[in-house]
Chains A and B, each alone.
Chain A
């Protein structure tokens, strides 16, 4: 696989996020859902769009786990997706994109693919 270049988008201070649940981040025209598990301190990010009915709602879905896999359930029809790799856990074909996260200082950063067309704008924002 080709290595993808990413840049770290400084999203928001971590105390702004509700614990053990989801919230939405906007970057340019993109909506990104962010989730955290307070006990393990894990953070996940994925597209906010549920691919099943093309609705911008995943951040409002319920967070949970399936075995060891962290997951989110879409509030509309309860399609569930792995937050690790975006796989649809109901066995359907539609998957979602997930993004790496990191915490530096008191801020959450999301690793987004670096596209040249967006590079300038991105730099302005970060």
Chain B
């Protein structure tokens, strides 16, 4: 068999080179090909598109497209850290930097591109970076730790992404652009202006029409000198001025190279040498370089099809639409965004207060969508892009596309059903609507199996909302009820299960699954049921240890390395010196890493499972209680010092915060709950970022609800004003209980409100006007939970049987020696996560 195998060498193990390996291995059922891949970088191919997530703490190996074993398991020989320096076309060999020769039958160049660095005097200075590889980002990150400010040279797509990264690194960030507007190729003046305003609101300074004449500094950069005489002082510079295809190998071996760079290929992605293909960013096709992954993936598929002898359509170019990610400002641009097609007619929509700009360009005959721009709201991007890409006929009133149907004749839906079967839904993997519908009909009836089967949504993920819509619409057509059921074990929603538990007085998971579910449960339904049982019966959660997630099982937060952290409750953030000393003593005794949390309390890290009951015994003896930091439950009610001390304070915020925190402590909910009370309008307790926030007024309290910090911050909304303390608590009782009863699992109040039909008005009606007649019931249920509260740690400490469960091994008393720590600034931290 082996003798007839053709040898394929892939130069470049980037995104496209990887896709080629994956596709060829999949297609080559008869094992006609042997694949050898060379990558210059030290890691196997990684997800360059999501490179910036490295700054959000993503580990390097999480970015890998596949681990090394993936290649091994498929007998693909991967040589990383290996640069190919020469091609000898006569002998059909490539030569690596060590001088080793490798024979090929077919050569696939997937060498990508490097960052283009303009020839400005001083670019070689220390502190100047590009933004292309993991190595670049590592270097950049470590340098940034000594910097206060950064400039990004280039206000294009990538430059703005780099700017956001710099901002997240805590740097004062400047974007320097030579053109008169940002994203000059994708946006028109109005769109770009709005984007600029939004970037400035984020704290990024934009400098337009600036040409850099020199990078100043003595060895290390100090700032940028512009041709107009102005100077920008910065500590570092990230160049993002475009890409330069890696065509040096091709040049050396005499293959045609385009005047502006890139290896020239024909519509079959072949070079002038019939045994050499080029795919990805290194290729110049009909004079164009494609700086996106989707066209590269399409090229990879094309070449694979040719190699295995499948019929192929010539490569005819590719749509360069873009939806900007990661910068918190929604921007989309597709097709002929600037309306450069002769006769094209623009339709514009601008809403200054909301910060939205939309533009679509319609063909001269009014029948086709040529392209468009969306800034501030890209919710219609998917649909518009479909109209554009599939040359779909436009509705009679094309402005409906961006304005929505404004009454009158019922406009036909632009929904998913209006799409033709040939519509491409996933551009990265080139998956059409038909593909997806067939997969659903063949039995892939949930999103994960649909993704696994078709690969749709596994690239950039941008099409997932649409894939989901398609799935639901298709299921409906098949006569299947689309219901957000919990998981395979329960075909009920969380809310339905709560009702069942109540009505049938079910007190254990086993009873519930036997009666209303199937199978053995899983990591999704077990914690949800545990939470429902707690919200209904308020029995100590230790009774249901086997269905709790590890944090609730051990009543502590699991940390890297498998140790736990301990957080005693410090209601309202008020603590006596004596109690503070006890915390210090306990921490010192058990050598716990100690840190103040954002919720005004103290977190003690690094406890072994078997130490937890001992630690708590000491804390409880000193009058502490569990802080429930491990639970989906009330965390803290933060407070500012208020009228007792503060000369501005108008109410006693600390006393009220303590009262409220003690009222709701231990309350189990669909997700964690945070509160705050501020003593005056200055809002030092940041109440408007909490699930419920209270701000003192001269007359009483203003109540805010459904705020959220975290990755998607959302301001709380003003719910009611000038309340007395009793009414304020009554409203919070009703509000929280209504949330507990109706929210989906793992949904914070902010997200719950966003999905709640009728929004804040509906919530006011239920809570204040008692429109559903639920008010008393909600209060009664809350009262029951408040009255039945007990500290679960006290329970454990006093119960030898429960205590015995806190040990690492069943068969020996030895401690777990796999826990490893190392020192940092006088404390300990876990040894690194592999």
Contact = CB atoms under 8 A, between A and B. Distances in A.
A24 B562 contact: no
A25 B70 CA distance: 31
Given A12-B811, A34-B810, A55-B561, A21 B520 contact: no
A19 B523 CA distance: 16
A16 B818 contact: no
B545 A57 contact: no
B125 to A, nearest CB: 39
B488 interface: yes
Contacts of B811: 11-12, 16, 25-26
A37 B520 contact: yes
Contact of A12 (B452, B526, B810): B810
27 contacts: A12-B811, A16-B811, A18-B545, A20-B547, A26-B811, A26-B812, A26-B814, A31-B818, A54-B834, A55-B560, A55-B561, A56-B818, A57-B550, A60-B550, A60-B553, A60-B562, A62-B523, A62-B550, A64-B521, A67-B519, A73-B523, A75-B550, A75-B551, A75-B558, A76-B558, A93-B67, A94-B67
A11 B810 CA distance: 8
Q: Which of the listed residues A16, A61, A62, A70 has the most CB atoms from chain B within 10 Å of its own CB?
A: A62
Contact of A20 (B69, B522, B546, B833): B546
A61 B558 CA distance: 11
Interface size class of B (residues with CB under 8 A): 35 or more
Interface string A19-46: 1110111100001001001010000000
Nearest to B818: A56
Contacts of A112: none
Interface in B505-543: 510, 519-523, 525-527
Interface residues of A, number: 39
A65 interface: yes
B552 to A, nearest CB: 10
A7 interface: no
Contacts of B562: 55-57, 60
B805 interface: yes
Contact of B523 (A24, A37, A64, A67): A64
B614 interface: no
A65 B818 CA distance: 29
Interface in A103-121: none
B503 to A, nearest CB: 24
Q: Which of the listed residues B550, B558, B811, B834 has the most CB atoms from chain A within 10 Å of its own CB?
A: B811
Interface in B544-591: 545-547, 549-551, 553-554, 558, 560-562
Given A93-B66, A93-B69, A73 B809 contact: no
Contacts of A3: none
B816 interface: yes
A60 B546 contact: no
Interface string B54-95: 000000000000110110010000000000000000000000
B808 interface: yes
Contacts of A34: 810
Nearest to A90: B448
Contacts of B70: 93
Contacts of A53: 833-834
A61 B523 contact: yes
A71 B488 CA distance: 13
B814 A93 contact: no
Nearest to B70: A93
A8 interface: no
Contacts of B554: 60
Nearest to B550: A75
Contacts of B488: 66-67
Given A37-B520, A64-B523, A78-B523, 7 more contacts: A11-B810, A24-B808, A54-B833, A55-B561, A57-B562, A64-B526, A93-B70
A80 interface: yes
Interface string B606-632: 000000000000000000000000000
A89 B31 CA distance: 27
Contacts of A73: 522-523
A61 B519 CA distance: 18
B810 A91 contact: no
Q: Which of the listed residues B66, B452, B551, B809 has the most CB atoms from chain A within 10 Å of its own CB?
A: B809
A19 to B, nearest CB: 7
Contacts of A55: 560-562, 833
B523 A80 contact: yes
A70 B520 contact: yes
Contact of B545 (A21, A39, A61): A21
A48 B526 CA distance: 21
Contact of A60 (B73, B522, B558, B812): B558
A56 B66 CA distance: 23
Contact of B810 (A16, A63, A76): A16
A8 to B, nearest CB: 14
Interface string B777-819: 0000000000000000000000000000100111110101010
Contacts of A23: 809-810
Nearest to A125: B811
Contacts of B519: 64-65, 67
Contacts of B546: 18-21, 63
A12 B813 CA distance: 12
Contacts of B810: 11-12, 16-17, 23-25, 34
Interface in B679-734: none
Nearest to A57: B562
B398 to A, nearest CB: 43
B494 to A, nearest CB: 17
Contact of A64 (B67, B69, B520): B520
Nearest to A20: B546
Contacts of B561: 55
A9 to B, nearest CB: 9
